[in-house]
Chain A
Amino acid sequence: MIVLDRIDRYRDGRPVLEDLSLHVEAKERLVVVGPSGCGKTTLLRIVAGLEAPDRGRVVIAGKVVSADGRILVEPKDRQIGMVFQDLALWPHMSVAGNLEFGLRVRGVARRERGVRVERMLREVGLEGYRNRRPSSLSGGERQRVALARALVLEPKIVLMDEPLSSLDEALNIRLRRLIVQLQERLGFTLLYVTHNKDEASQIATRLLRLGG
């Protein structure tokens, strides 16, 4: 599904990723672990198309999407959903607004949008939350909105950058289970970054260790 072919990425002259090659199979749950600063987030951003590798190629579903400093396929065209580390929920939109945005710009009809949003909110256990603002939600609720937003467009690949890092243990465990359940039910390929060993072992079908 995802192929990274000899990726180099530098920042301020220092290598963040060096000669990294990786194959991720479809429907796999690959968890990337490693110490802070080892390039986990950069890896996700390169797959997402938010950054281009300085050297090497990124291939998704058989298509070269980035190569040698150039982004050949824009993020929006890669069918990727992403949960950011700071969640990046848009404060000026409601929960429904956050989910609907991607559907709206793709020209999905209003009724269809409403149906899909409701369905996704049910999936993450947030029925009745559609009109709430992100600032009025708890930490766990915000995580679930971010998750729902990443999934509402039914992406083939989902990237998650330490999505559960700020949650308490009990909530963390519940949401891990939810993520695994959603992945198994919806069948997307998951690339998941964390520095938490327990999280990694519970979610991963395969582990990738970065940064020695």
Chain B
Amino acid sequence: MERGRNLWWVVAVSGVVTFLPLLALAVKSFTIDGHLTLEAYRRVLDTPQQWRLFERSAILASLVTAVTLPAGLLLGMVLGKSDLPLRRLFTLLLLIPLLVPPYIWAVGWSDLFAPTGLFAHLFGQEAAKVASGYLFGLYGCVFILSCVYLPIPLILTMALLRSVPRSFEEAGRMVAGWPAVLRHITLPLVAPALLIAGVLVFLLAFGELTVPNYLRYDLYVVESFTHFSAFYDFSAATASAVPIVVVALALLLLEERVRLTFFSEPLPPTSDIPMALVPLGRYRWPVAFSVALWVGLTAVVPTSALAMEAGGWANYVEAIQRAGSSIGHTLLFAAAGATLLSVLGFFTGYLVRRRALPLWRIVDATTLFLFALPGSVVGIALVALWNTPLGGFVYSTPLIILLGYAAKYLVLPSRITAAQLALIPPSMEEAAQLVGASWGQRILYIVAPLAWRGLLAGWLVAYLFCMRDTAITMTLYPPGADTLSVRIFTLMANGSPELIAALCMVTVVLTLVPLLFLGTLLRGVVR
């Protein structure tokens, strides 16, 4: 009762942040020039071409998911649970593709395979031409987007590995070696995390525009974008975004069904004994070599190409000068956005996991729909909502950007919290309730401390996504409050390639340094 009362404010806040923009979008899609009509839907959905493109988008998204999930799981196990040398460095390097606008990687790889590129120098023009042929098209899109989104299942796997009770693995080790224990015991217990990682990767890949556009792979989302960008047809843009929402809903239902069928048992809480690392023994260096090869190909090569393009210190100095206040904005908005998101996400995740109110499904679904929708579409909905005489107080400040982040990315910390809470039996809270603790006290003293890993993971993931966001920021930033990713895009038109590359490298450093710092702090606190 008391819990329900307290959670209504969570519903109210998340309603303002997510449900209202979604409603505004829906209303816009049903109106043209102030009249209610289905014309936008009819125009957009009534062509066979649309469905062909939709199928292509689904194929791309499925392939990217099919590559990143097993790769992320495998790498997550190796980097998170073995005694592999340099595993922290490898993890950090694998994060890099996620930090920079994916378009930059597409351009980078294209330059690498150009007739005058490095590949041609090393392997000849013919080989470069063949490689380029594969890059421009479906395979190139799958490769680049897989590299970009791999960190999502990777990080989630590593976080969830720490939540498997050590005794479960030890009981297995009494009868079997590590490979069988990992396969039959550890893996099935971390699999639920991968479900949501799969859904998120699918939606991100489905909504990705700039890479397929550059690599000339025509997609459904390009259509929605074209309506908007070239013809300013917001009703049509929203109408054509609806099938994406339907896909998101289907994935949500599928994920829930699979989770309930196969993974409904909560795990006992873990003790403070650190997680057992799997000794690789004589496979240590071959595995290290394989991982290094993978990391080299997917992260080091494109980052080095970017660094080489950036050139000498003078370019970095110029980049920082050109970036100006956007550096401070980027860090501030990302940190503030991540904090807002992790706090709100913690409570919405709690609401969803504990099903504390009947509305929990709507809250969960709304956050996922907004994640699925193109950022610019969500942004315009927020303009419609907040650009009013009353809302101007918010709209004319960078706070509108935070609301944009919250609308688009709330699903990430929310689901991470929900996954973490799945590992905490309700009996923990119930025990506190029975001794008289209020809901607030239970959250503060029982739930939050037990779920601290999820909170931190939620903050880090939210921080990453806020840092790299372009579409939302582009649509909403007040004059003079642009971020680095926006500045990269605005300077890209006729800005020198060296400057753009240097700005991208600055973005990478700005994202990684706080993460490294937090990681060091965390190790000190935990041990």
Contacts and interface: CB of A to CB of B under 8 A. Distances in A.
Assess A/B contact in the complex (Cβ within 8 A).
yes
A208 to B, nearest CB: 22
Given A90-B185, A92-B263, A101 B175 contact: yes
Interface in B266-299: 266-268
Interface in A63-119: 74-76, 80-82, 84-86, 88, 90-92, 101-102, 105-106
A176 interface: no
Nearest to B276: A50
A48 interface: yes
Contacts of A134: 265
A76 B188 contact: no
A48 B174 contact: yes
A62 to B, nearest CB: 21
A106 B198 CA distance: 33
Interface residues of A, number: 25
Contact of B174 (A81, A90, A92): A81
B175 A88 contact: no
B121 interface: no
A105 B180 contact: yes
Contacts of B167: 84-86, 88
Contacts of B171: 82, 84, 88, 90, 149
Contacts of B185: 90, 101
A82 B174 contact: yes
Chain B contact-residue range equals 20 to 34
A153 interface: yes
A195 interface: no
Contacts of B189: 91-92
A81 B172 CA distance: 10
A117 B266 CA distance: 26
A196 interface: no
Given A50-B170, A135-B265, A88 B176 contact: no
Contacts, number: 64
B165 A88 contact: yes
Contacts of B266: 91
Contacts of B262: 92
A85 B177 CA distance: 21
Given A50-B173, A102-B176, A105-B180, A92 B188 contact: yes
Given A50-B170, A91-B265, A86 B176 contact: no
Contacts of B180: 105
B268 A86 contact: yes
Given A91-B267, A135-B265, A84 B170 contact: yes
B8 interface: no
A76 B170 contact: no
Contact of B175 (A91, A92, A102): A102
B168 interface: yes
Contacts of A81: 174
A133 interface: yes
Interface in B297-311: none
Contact of A75 (B174, B184, B188, B265): B174
Nearest to A92: B188
B8 to A, nearest CB: 32
Contacts of B174: 48, 75-76, 80-82, 102, 150
A37 B177 CA distance: 29
Given A92-B263, A105-B175, A105-B177, 10 more contacts: A76-B175, A80-B174, A82-B171, A84-B167, A84-B171, A86-B167, A91-B267, A92-B188, A105-B176, A149-B171
Interface of A: 48, 50, 74-76, 80-82, 84-86, 88, 90-92, 101-102, 105-106, 133-135, 149-150, 153
20 contacts: A48-B170, A76-B173, A76-B176, A82-B174, A84-B170, A85-B167, A86-B268, A88-B167, A88-B168, A88-B171, A90-B171, A90-B185, A91-B266, A91-B267, A92-B188, A92-B189, A101-B172, A101-B185, A105-B176, A150-B174
